[in-house]
Amino acid sequence: MVKWHLTGYRRWISSPTGSVLLLVLLALVGDYSSRGVFAASPLPDQSDVLYHAASVSSIAATRDVDSTYFLPNTTVPTHYSISLRTDIHNDVRTFSAITRIYLTVLAPTDLIVMHVQELNIASVALYRIASTGGNEIWIDSPTYMIDIVREHVTFRTAGMLPLGNYALEVAYTGSMRNYQSGYLVSRYRNEANEWRSVGTTHFQATLARRVFPCYDEPALKATFDLKITHHRAYTAIANMPLAGTEIDPNNREYLVSRFERTPLMSTYLLAFAVTDFKTLRNGQHEIVVRSNAQDDAMYALTVGSTILERLGSYLELSYYDYMPKMTSIAVPDRGTGAMENWGLVTYGEPSLLYNPAVNTYRNRKRVTTVIAHEYAHQWFGDLVSPRSWDFIWLSEGFATLYEYLATRLAEPGDEYWELFSVEVVQRAFLQDANEQIRPINWQAATQAEVSSLFDIIAYQKAGSVLNMFRNVLGESEWRQGLTQYLTDRGYDAATEENLALHLQRAVEGKDILPPTANVRDLLASWTDAPGFPVLNVYRLYRDGMMILSQERFLEQSVLPTGHVWHIPFNYAYESSATFYDLTTAGWLSSRAAKLETPVPDDEWVVFNKQQTGYYRVNYDRRNWDLLAQALMANRNAIHRANRAQLIDDAFNLARADLLDMAVVLRLMRYLRAERDYAPWYAADKVLTYLYDKVRATEHEHAFLVYVDELIEEVYSTLSVDTVGQGESTLYKYLRQLITGWACRIGYKDCLERSRAALRKEFLPGQGESSVAVHPDVRAVVYCYGLQQDSAEEFQLIFQRLMASRNQAERTDLIDALGCARNADSITSLLATIVFSAAPDTTFVYLSEERNRVFQAIYSGGRAPTLALMNVLSDPVSVQQLLAIVGEGTITNAVMNIAQRTNGAEEMARLEMMLTAMNGILPPGTLNNARDTAAARPQWFTTAEGLIVGEFLEQYNLP
């Protein structure tokens, strides 16, 4: 699963038809609302929530769990037969169903316990199934009791049930929600601009129980038969192919769709959808999509088929040996996540649809990697499921690794594998450096505990650790072990022990691991302990001798710990720059050890080649100086992945007071000659962090001069506003990063080109044709093109937003609008949020887009942020917005404004806003914002702040 940016102030009045607000709005949309382009947008339910990307669970190092949340082991399921009726075509948000659960009694009992959530049970019947066959025998109508906290339903029979096979039939009704929970509703506008409702499912992790009573734990696998009764204008799809369709004998306007029986699988993987969508086919690979987005699905249809085939070849287990078809469905207005249901993968539209005419290279990358992630799950998670949610990393960690690695198998020219270290490993480091972080293996019992496991530890950290072992064991042995693991545990569940067993067998007798080592112990040192180590390399500069030591790395320090990681290491040095040989040179399996090496004392050394190991590396000061000198002399002497590693490690070591920040800033001076993206990605984090600290202070000018020194040469090789033939993916990433900084620090050429390109598209000169800005340069051109007097262009971009049916494009347009410097434009944009909730409105926002508007504004620079603060300083305006977006969105905006406040003038302006919000937001929220802003100047009194200030003094040019 893939979890799922001052010319005056007009006071808003409480009535949405107030003349002042209308004047502000008309400045934005002109007579656009009278064009009759849009149908009315339904007001979202208050239960709508915003789903964020995978975050981190910050919890204590150990904990006990409440085992009463687990089902007793007296009965187990063998098969489910589900018959469900839905009227989603009429936007009816309830359903009725009859589910028959076939089960085996393992110990005499009068209680059958399973899971249920918010189902209204109408009747229950229990049948005995004779071991010799024959008809089922009714034996009881059990009573039942529901524990709403544990979400258990306990059926009590009249007498003790002996060992044997039974069938429990339950009739019930249930409800649909507007978010990722059970059987859910989504809405979209069709070609006739009519709102249509469709139904899809999302059962991970503990939500199958919202649709049918079940044993909702991943190891309790069963087979499934499914029948869905629906209106004949709609079609139903599920994990398995359609077995047949009959007319409903009770209503000829309805059809009954029957599906083939599934293989053994976990309840959370069952899926179905009832829609009026179209199906595109490429052999056994299908894409289901709304009819007015079929062209946008063609890329996924092709690339998805290739990824599925290449993964099967890589693992020597064809997907179609286990499942007869693969269907992917694009669900409207469901965010950007995806869910790996076996044979029926569901996606938010931006994660499956890609149109090169309007979508960017980043959208293409997202679609490709999300498909790869979900298709990797077809083996890791679906064919072999985690024994319990404690081992969810066996599903999500593998999927994270192969969402990048599978693209190298299927589309190597896209270079997405080059992004693994910076997007996965380095991202995991940031979260895993928390003292309260959990280990990879972590127990969970309650629904909240289970949900919290879907975090950066299960995804990015686990994926990084698995990749480390892939390199340690060798690609051939790794693949051999995985194939045997999947074959042995197929249609079943697994633990870390099962994985380690088959990897160990693959390396036996091959001299890959130390004689006394085994995969289980090596792997456990990374999965059973929280955090990760820093490998300290202290060179003695005496015949190549070095002392290696390890400590747990934390974001602000190191932490003494009794735990020892088994750290695989390798290294390259100046006269032996073997960065492509990733063979393990040795293991540090103690707190410290002395190492003999052939490294000459006057040459640099780099440990952890291509950053395949999940650890940071620190060096003595002399080696850091040698590395800085080497990069200045010839950056290509060190592999690009290690150049990124050096910057990222140095910066975070400095943040933890383990290295002088001046070392980082001197090291980065070589970037003026850097042309690869990964090192710039790492540097961008450093520059963004420092700019946030020094903006609007006495050090800002010197910092901008420093940035200018770094980017000037690189910028001269790039084009702000055009895209050339044959540009690589990484070149596009680099261009957006560098041109974004160039415009941000005021490069005249960058700003003028952005402004001119924006005008050529929206306001071409007389007799000139419109020239569309290429999607791959749109982010910079639109954002910085709007930072001058551009009210007309702003209005036209907004109109494009309202007209677009492509969710990814809409997000990009919202981000661009948030950059506008014109205060009236920002005020008008916020006014459209209020008007979007009115009946028969022409301002249509998807469920998450109102929140995105706020994010775009406070991320768009100081001018739009000031305009937002003006609006939030008016109690009437705040109350109107609160009623629509909720307190969470307003609180996030306030805290983000506080986190961006620098200097006395900005602090005074913040205080005015917070004072105006008294009685609207809780006092604790307002005081937190004050404390956050008040603490920011204290950075300049820290050693880090003083060192940065001293370093920047040399850039204070007259």
Tens of pLDDT, residues 141-169: 999 999 999 999 999 999 999 999 999 99
Residue 177 has pLDDT above 90, yes or no: no
| Active-site choice (309, 349, 374, 449) | 374
Give the pLDDT confidence score for residue 63 in this predicted structure: 65
Spell out the SS3 assignment of 275-301. Answer: ECCEEEEECCEEEEECHHHCHHHHHHH
Indicate if the alpha-carbon torsion angle 693, 695, 700, 705 is positive or negative: positive
**pLDDT at residue 637 is higher than 50:** yes
**Average pLDDT in the 414-429 region?**
95
Q: Is 396 annotated as a binding residue?
A: yes
pLDDT at 27: 46
Domains 386-528 and 786-957 belong to one CATH topology: no
Is 502 assigned to a binding site?
A: no
pLDDT at 876 over 70: yes
Place of tokens 């009794």: 562
Q: Is the CA virtual torsion 942, 946, 951, 955 positive or negative?
A: positive
Cβ neighbours of 935 (radius 10 Å): 10
Bridge partners of 576, per DSSP, are 573
Residue 59 structure tokens: 């919890």
Task: Give the number of other CB atoms < 10 A from CB of residue 931.
Answer: 10
371: phi then psi, degrees, rounded to nearest 5: -60, -45
For residue 36, pLDDT over 50 is answered with: no
Q: Could you give the CA distance from residue 286 to residue 300 in angstroms, rounded to a whole number?
A: 9
Query: Model confidence over 915-928: pLDDT tens digits?
Result: 999 999 999 999 99
> CA 863 to CA 6: how far, in whole Å?
7
Q: Dihedrals φ, ψ of 104, to 5°?
A: -120, 130
> Residues 677-690: what's their mean pLDDT?
97
Question: Quick one: CA dihedral 211, 217, 218, 220, positive or negative?
Answer: negative
Give yes or no for a contact between 315 and 376, defined as CB atoms under 8 angstroms apart: no
Amino acid at 314: Y
Q: Bigger pLDDT: 538 or 412?
A: 538
The arithmetic mean of pLDDT across residues 646-674, rounded, is: 96
pLDDT above 50 (res 17)? no
Strands 326-331 and 344-348 come out as parallel
Whether 215 shows a pLDDT value over 90: the answer reads yes
Task: Reply yes or no on whether the pLDDT at 113 is more than 60.
Answer: yes
Burial of 694: CB neighbours in 10 Å, binned 0-12, 13-18, 19+: buried
Residue 62: its pLDDT value, please? 53
Residue 93: how many other CB atoms lie within 10 Å? 19
Give the pair of three-digit tokens for residue 679. Answer: 């090192």
Cis before 205? omega within 30: yes
Residue 737 parent element (H or E): helix 729-744
d(CA 454, CA 393): 9
The H or E element that residue 550 is part of is strand 545-553
How far is residue 542's CA from residue 833's CA, in Å, rounded to a whole number? 68
Residue pLDDT, tens place only, 267-319: 999 999 999 999 999 999 999 999 999 999 999 999 999 999 999 999 999 99
CB 946: neighbour CB atoms within 10 A?
A: 13
Mean pLDDT over residues 767-780, rounded? Answer: 94
Work out the average pLDDT over 253-260: 97
Give me the sign of the Cα torsion angle 329, 332, 338, 339: negative
Q: Alpha-carbon distance 379 to 395, whole Å?
A: 9
Fold held by 386-528: Neutral Protease; domain 2 (1.10.390)
Cβ-Cβ contacts under 8 Å for 672 (sequence gap 6 or more): 709, 710, 711, 712, 713, 714
- Token representation of residue 5: 């940016």
Q: Which amino acid is at 135?
A: N
Phi, psi of 100 (to 5 degrees): -110, 120
Burial of residue 419 (CB within 10 Å: 0-12, 13-18, 19+) is buried
Model confidence at 560, pLDDT cuts 50, 70, 90, reads confident
Active site residue 374: yes
Assign domain 67-276 to a CATH class: mainly beta
Distances (CA, A) of 3 to 180, 334, 373, 380, 807: 11, 11, 11, 17, 17
Task: Out of 2.160.10.10, 3.30.1330.10, 3.80.30.20, 1.25.50.20, select the CATH number for domain 786-957.
Answer: 1.25.50.20
Q: How many helices (H) and strands (E) does the chain have?
A: 29, 31
Amino acid present at 682: A
Q: Is the model's pLDDT at 30 over the cut of 60?
A: no
Q: Is the dihedral of CA 669, 675, 676, 677 positive or negative?
A: positive
**Neighbouring residues of 292: CB distance < 8 A, sequence distance ≥ 6:** 190, 191, 805
Q: Mean pLDDT over residues 838-847, rounded?
A: 86
Question: 419: closest CA among 5, 732, 53, 740?
Answer: 732
Look at residues 459, 397, 399, 403 and name the one whose alpha carbon lies nearest to residue 427: 459
pLDDT, tens digit, 9 for 90 and up, residues 331-343: 998 888 899 999 9
Q: Please give the Cα distance from 524 to 443 (Å, whole number).
A: 15
Per-residue pLDDT for 6 more than 60? no
3-state secondary structure of 575: coil
Categorize the per-residue pLDDT at 42 as very low, low, confident or very high, splitting at 50, 70 and 90: very low
Which of these ranges, 27-41, 562-576, 595-609, 611-625, has the smallest mean pLDDT?
Answer: 27-41
Name residue 443's amino acid. Q
Question: Is 377 labelled a binding residue?
Answer: yes
Mean pLDDT calculated for residue range 386-410? 96
DSSP per-residue codes, 833-870: HHHTTSTT-S----TTHHHHHHHHHHTS-HHHHHHHHH
The upper half-sphere exposure of residue 513, i.e. CA atoms within 13 Å in the direction of its Cβ, equals 23
| CATH match of 532-679 with 2.60.40.1910 | yes
| Sequence-separated (6 or more) residues with CB below 8 Å from residue 699 | 948, 949, 952
Provide the pLDDT for residue 392: 96
pLDDT reported for residue 59: 38
Note the pLDDT tens digit of each residue in 591-616: 999 999 999 999 999 999 999 999 99
Q: What is the mean pLDDT of residues 634-657?
A: 97
**Would the pLDDT of 32 be above 60?**
no
* Continuous segment of H or E residues that includes residue 478: helix 475-489
| CB of 664 closer than 8 Å to CB of 647 | yes
Beta bridge pairs of residue 274: 199, 236
Q: Is the dihedral of CA 920, 922, 925, 926 positive or negative?
A: positive
Per-domain boundaries in the chain: 67-276, 386-528, 532-679, 786-957
Residues 6+ apart with CB under 8 A from 904: none
Sorting pLDDT into bands at 50, 70 and 90, what band is 482?
A: very high
Given a contact cutoff of 8 angstroms between Cβ atoms, the answer to whether 502 and 519 are in contact is no
Which pLDDT band, with edges at 50, 70 and 90, does 630 fall under? very high
Q: What is the 3-state secondary structure (H, E, C) of 628-647?
A: HHHHHHCHHHCCHHHHHHHH
Give the distance, in angstroms, between the CA of residue 775 and the centroid of all CA atoms in the same chain: 22
pLDDT range class, residue 3, cuts 50, 70, 90: low
Kindly state the average pLDDT of the residues 479-491.
97
Distant-in-sequence contacts of 764-768, Cβ < 8 A, 24+ apart: none
Task: Write down the pLDDT at residue 767.
Answer: 85
d(CA 530, CA 434): 9
Instruction: Report, as an integer, the average pLDDT of 612-641.
Output: 97
CA-nearest of 355, 351, 181 to 268 is 181
CA distance 736 to 657: 32
Helix %, strand %, coil % for the chain, to 5?
45, 20, 35
**Which H, E and C letters describe 404-426, residue by residue?**
HHHHHHHCHHHCHHHHHHHHHHH
